[in-house]
């Protein structure tokens, strides 16, 4: 059903489990051709326990994935990446990693915003105010325009707890989709949200994401999409019921789904 996944975490982030090689073994059993590790970016001089690993774990992450690349060469293509925010203080750092080939790719995960003092001043996902929604959109569009990110994961995260898809939601969604299309960045249909199940939000029983109205707009606008498993445990790579639900969701809406991720490259 799926032949590649680029959204895979490791135990280093503090909210995932399993050894790196276990993910590879499950991916092989599924018949995947490509497996991308994209743990939450570990930033120098910044700690966020339970959300991302400390920078001291970064070297081990790189070393482990590179070793697996070599060990399984010819059987499965393994890629080394990051799921990273558009934190202004770390954009040069991320660009350097990508430009020098230390990572194969970056994916935009717009969880929060950081100021120049390395302080988080906004978090997304549970907030429902119009200001927060628009701030999410502005930050994400800025990240997309850097040209560094190969995919925009759970792009509808900002709608997770919104009880009604109102005009603000529609306007932010339209700008996000438009910018992603201009930058040729696919929007991720996140299977992690499907695995978590539906819950009552406003008067709807729905997933936190993917959000139907957001991807309905993406379909009408002709945006490219990609299915991402957002695996935080090896067994989450092989969750056929949730994977099939994601495929049905995409087909129902007539989304343009790609199965391989073209990787963005940048220069210093």
Name every residue whose Cβ is closer than 8 Å to that of residue 182 and which is 6 or more positions away in sequence. Answer: none
DSSP label at residue 190: E
Strand 256-258 relative to strand 224-228: parallel, antiparallel, unpaired?
A: parallel
Nearest-angstrom CA–CA distance, 99 and 70: 21
Instruction: Report the pLDDT averaged over residues 109-133.
Output: 94
Angle at the Cα of 157 from the Cα atoms of 141 and 26, rounded to 5 degrees: 110
Would you say residue 266 lies in a domain? no
Mean of the per-residue pLDDT values for the chain?
96
For 101, half-sphere exposure in the C-beta direction (CA atoms, 13 angstrom radius) is 1
Would you say residue 65 lies in a domain? yes
Residue span of the structural domain in which 118 resides: 4-258
pLDDT in tens, 187-236: 999 999 999 999 999 999 999 999 999 999 999 999 999 999 999 999 99
Would you say residue 192 lies in a domain? yes
Would you say residue 106 lies in a domain? yes
Q: Closest by alpha carbon to 263, among 177, 184, 181, 176? A: 184
Distances (CA, A) of 138 to 26, 61, 65, 223, 227: 38, 31, 33, 19, 24
pLDDT in tens, 215-229: 999 999 999 999 999
E-strand stretches of the chain: 4-5, 34-40, 77-84, 105-108, 112-114, 120-123, 149-152, 187-190, 199-201, 204-206, 224-228, 256-258
CATH number of the CATH domain containing 108: 3.20.20.140
Would you say residue 244 lies in a domain? yes
Would you say residue 35 lies in a domain? yes
pLDDT in tens, 57-103: 999 999 999 999 999 999 999 999 999 999 999 999 999 999 999 99
Instruction: Find tokens 């529609």 and name the residue.
Output: 170
Would you say residue 75 lies in a domain? yes
Would you say residue 264 lies in a domain? no
Task: State the pLDDT at residue 127.
Answer: 81
Q: Is the pLDDT of residue 264 over 80?
A: yes
Coil, helix or strand for 129?
Answer: coil
Nearest-angstrom CA–CA distance, 4 and 61: 20
Q: Is the pLDDT of residue 1 over 80?
A: no
Name every residue whose Cβ is closer than 8 Å to that of residue 230 and which is 6 or more positions away in sequence. Answer: 7, 9, 153, 154, 190, 191, 192, 193, 236
Task: State the pLDDT at residue 90.
Answer: 98
Nearest-angstrom CA–CA distance, 134 and 192: 24
pLDDT in tens, 172-192: 999 999 999 999 999 999 999
Count structural domains, the chain.
Answer: 1
Instruction: Find tokens 């090896």 and name the residue.
Output: 234
pLDDT in tens, 16-55: 999 999 999 999 999 999 999 999 999 999 999 999 999 9
Task: State the pLDDT at residue 165.
Answer: 96
Percent of the chain with pLDDT over 90: 97
């Amino acid at each position: 059903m799926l032949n590649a996944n680029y959204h895979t975490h490791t135990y280093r982030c503090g909210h995932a489990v399993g050894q790196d090689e276990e993910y590879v073994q499950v991916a092989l059993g599924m018949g995947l051709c490509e497996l991308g590790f994209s743990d939450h970016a570990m930033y120098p001089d910044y700690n966020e326990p339970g959300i991302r690993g400390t920078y001291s774990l970064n070297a081990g992450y790189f070393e482990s994935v590179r070793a697996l690349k070599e060990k399984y060469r010819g059987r499965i293509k393994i890629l080394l990446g990051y799921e990273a925010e558009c934190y202004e203080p770390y954009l040069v750092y991320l660009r350097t990693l990508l430009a020098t080939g230390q990572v194969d790719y970056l994916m935009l995960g717009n969880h929060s915003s950081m100021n120049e003092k390395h302080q988080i001043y906004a978090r997304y996902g549970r907030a429902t105010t119009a200001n927060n929604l628009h701030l999410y959109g502005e930050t994400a569009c800025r990240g997309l325009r850097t040209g560094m990110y190969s995919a925009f994961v759970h792009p509808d995260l900002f709608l997770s707890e919104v009880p009604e898809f109102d005009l603000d939601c529609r306007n932010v969604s339209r700008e996000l989709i438009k910018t992603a299309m201009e930058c040729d960045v696919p929007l991720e249909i996140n299977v992690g949200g499907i695995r978590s199940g539906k819950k009552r939000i406003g008067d709807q029983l729905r997933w936190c994401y993917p959000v139907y109205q957001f991807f309905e707009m993406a379909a009408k606008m002709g945006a490219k999409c990609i299915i991402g498993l957002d695996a935080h445990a090896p067994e989450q790579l092989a969750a056929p019921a949730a994977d099939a639900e994601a495929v049905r969701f995409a087909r129902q809406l007539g989304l343009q789904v790609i199965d391989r991720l073209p990787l963005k490259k940048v220069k210093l």
